[in-house]
Structure 1
Amino acid sequence: MSRVHRFSRRAILSAAAASAAARVLRAQDAGPRIATLDWALLETLLAIGANVVAATELRQFRQVAVKPDVPQGVADLGLRGTPNFEALRLARPDLIFNSNFYAWADPLMNRIAPVESHPIYKPGESPYILAEQATLAIGERLRLPAARRLVEDLADRLDRYKNLFAKGDGRPLLPINLGDARHYRVFGSDSLFGEVLKRMGLANAWAGATSYSAMAPMGIETLASMPEAWIVLIPPHPEDAFAALTESVFWKALPAVRENRVLTVGSINPYGALPAASRFADFLAEGFSYVRSG
């Protein structure tokens, strides 16, 4: 039976993570009190050390995005689509950052604190570039120099990884997320993950259209049309989907599976910003380094 490779980030990021965590903890002791409904903005704010006091669906965010860490004192506003505005008021934010996904809430939140919008996912526009722009704009607004460091450090790291992957087998990658044992969504060239692949000099095996993030659902049988690709499984997946898929006869017959060209990385927010892009790139770099040395 073919192996499915799983990887942690420890080997690459332990020292960097410790340093970043220390900077974030120091920064959160001061500065304006910030709230947000949007997860991409939340991970950005946490990564640059903003004083976040309220955000949405924090339990799920910790499971899906995983990093950056959410301080225990941050108030949970409930669902992104139906936030608790009373909890938001009680959190006493000085400023609220929002995105186009939740623009309907702007008039209500403006009664509590000023609202600034920073879209990251817009049809026809690069989510990576919009994420860079949002990071720099928020950093300037909050006077947090860590924002520019985040942008520059990630750009430098992607360049280094490009050199690393130039030594690989040249095969395209197919980044997917399972819906169930029979369907998946694929991240195309216009998604955040697709742009990370391009910046690292890697080809995306999916040549079809997507909608600035992912196309869903695709029948699992379409995997057979891309026999040359590495399959990159990006959690979270439904609890039983992965087990059911990997035990299926179809899955075991795929060339990528038979030839050990399957990587399962850690959970990543599919609608994330630069921290999600960084997490995806680091997982791939560590994963393929492990494959070559294994």
Structure 2
Amino acid sequence: MTFFRLCVLAVVMTAVSAIAGLGIHSASAAPIVINDDRGTVTLDAPATRVAVINWGLAESVLALGLDPVAIADPQDYQKWVGKPDLPQSFVDLGARAAPNIEALRNAKPDLILISQELDIAYDKLSDIAPVMVLSIYADGNVAFDSATDAFRKIAKATGREEEGEAYLKQVDDKLAAYGDRIRAVLGPDQEIAVANFYSPTNIAVFGSPSLPGSVMKQMNVPLAYDGPVSKWGFARGGLEILAPLAKNTLVYTNPIPDTVRQKTWASPLWKSMDFVRNNRVYELPVVWGYGGVPSGLRFAELLTQSLENGPTQ
């Protein structure tokens, strides 16, 4: 065989091997199948352009190192959630309850993340891209557990499972450390009541299924309220809802309007409560009590810092 023919044969064999290799690789790239609230979602490849119409899911995408291409209610996200920071560039989808469909279509997502509250729009959204329904908050759910499950499913859908597990390991380690620090300053006879003040007659107190409550359980920190709660994990009432908890330590989250704070703090009932009279009221910066794993970690960090820094004056 001539040298020329040997060269040609070598080139042909190399090409055949390359084509065969591509075929093997293509065959091994199986679709990604994920269980969600509606059944299963199948993706041909990891999603890279994710649109999110839920803050807890949005912060989970961000924590995985992926910038969503579209986000609902971004202005209120900055007010109520705070962290993780939103990316510099994304499509504003408007209200979470009624996202702008044309804006969503123009964002060209390859995956849309929603919770069950928007399930009514599932068919319309599915015309744009595959939709994954992940509800952290539902009757019977323990928020931190379901948030962790949702986080793992988002990591799988975006091809970031390794990054996701590393993040969750870091969260577990930090929660354990924060729990040690809180117990060191809390005292053996104290439990913590966690509340949101919307008005003096509209106060939410978090129970064990809530994000704050389930994170505190993970930290081995005692929660004061153990009564009935909504699917969001809280009980609602006026100032009287705090009265049975007054012997404990009270922590409240921001944002809270100044007028609500002033009116509540001026109330004779508020002033008579043991946690007020004995200076056991603590304030947290903005943290989303109805979010995902990142909000749970942020709550734990802020709770630890607040208790170590001392009560609200």
TM-score range with shorter-chain normalisation?
A: 0.7 to 0.9
| d(CA) in 1 for partners of 2:258, 2:47 | 40
The yes-or-no answer on 1:112 pairing with 2:121 is no
Deviation of 1:216 after TM superposition, in Å, equals 4.6
The yes-or-no answer on 1:56 pairing with 2:75 is no
Alignment partner, residue 38 of structure 1: 54
Verify the 8 A CA contact 1:185 1:214 in the aligned structure 2. Answer: no
**125-134 vs 232-241, greater mean Cα deviation:** 232-241
Deviation of 1:239 after TM superposition, in Å, equals 4.4
SS in 1 for 2:69: strand
Alignment partner, residue 187 of structure 1: 206
Identity %: 31
The yes-or-no answer on 1:149 pairing with 2:166 is yes
SS in 2 for 1:264: strand
Alignment partner, residue 105 of structure 2: 89
Scaled by the length of structure 2, the TM-score of the pair is 0.79
SS in 2 for 1:166: helix
Counterparts of 1:1-294 in structure 2, within 5 Å, are: 32-144=48-160, 145-167=162-184, 168-170=186-188, 171-291=190-310
Verify the 8 A CA contact 1:177 1:186 in the aligned structure 2. Answer: yes
- Give the gaps of 5 or more residues in structure 1: 1-29
Verify the 8 A CA contact 1:188 1:213 in the aligned structure 2. Answer: no
Change (3 A) 1:71 1:51: closer
Verify the 8 A CA contact 1:190 1:211 in the aligned structure 2. Answer: no
- Give the gaps of 5 or more residues in structure 2: 1-45
| d(CA) in 2 for partners of 1:243, 1:274 | 32
SS in 1 for 2:286: coil
Verify the 8 A CA contact 2:206 2:235 in the aligned structure 1. Answer: no
Provide Cα deviations, 1:51-82, integer angstroms capped at 9, x if missing partner: 31101100000110000101131111111111
Scaled by the length of structure 1, the TM-score of the pair is 0.84
Verify the 8 A CA contact 2:49 2:108 in the aligned structure 1. Answer: yes
| d(CA) in 2 for partners of 1:126, 1:60 | 25
Deviation of 1:248 after TM superposition, in Å, equals 2.5
- Which amino acid is the alignment partner of residue 152 of structure 1? K
| d(CA) in 2 for partners of 1:111, 1:31 | 16
Deviation of 1:278 after TM superposition, in Å, equals 0.6
Q: In angstroms, what is the RMSD of aligned CA positions?
A: 1.9
Alignment partner, residue 18 of structure 1: none
| d(CA) in 1 for partners of 2:278, 2:212 | 24
| d(CA) in 1 for partners of 2:155, 2:205 | 32
- Which amino acid is the alignment partner of residue 97 of structure 1? L
| d(CA) in 1 for partners of 2:169, 2:135 | 20
Provide Cα deviations, 1:98-128, integer angstroms capped at 9, x if missing partner: 2222111211111111112222112112221
| d(CA) in 2 for partners of 1:214, 1:226 | 17
Alignment partner, residue 27 of structure 1: none
**64-73 vs 113-122, greater mean Cα deviation:** 113-122
SS in 1 for 2:175: helix
Alignment partner, residue 20 of structure 1: none
| d(CA) in 2 for partners of 1:181, 1:113 | 44
Change (3 A) 1:120 1:214: closer
Deviation of 1:31 after TM superposition, in Å, equals 6.8
- Which amino acid is the alignment partner of residue 263 of structure 2? A
- Which amino acid is the alignment partner of residue 93 of structure 1? P
Aligned length: 264
| d(CA) in 1 for partners of 2:240, 2:133 | 40
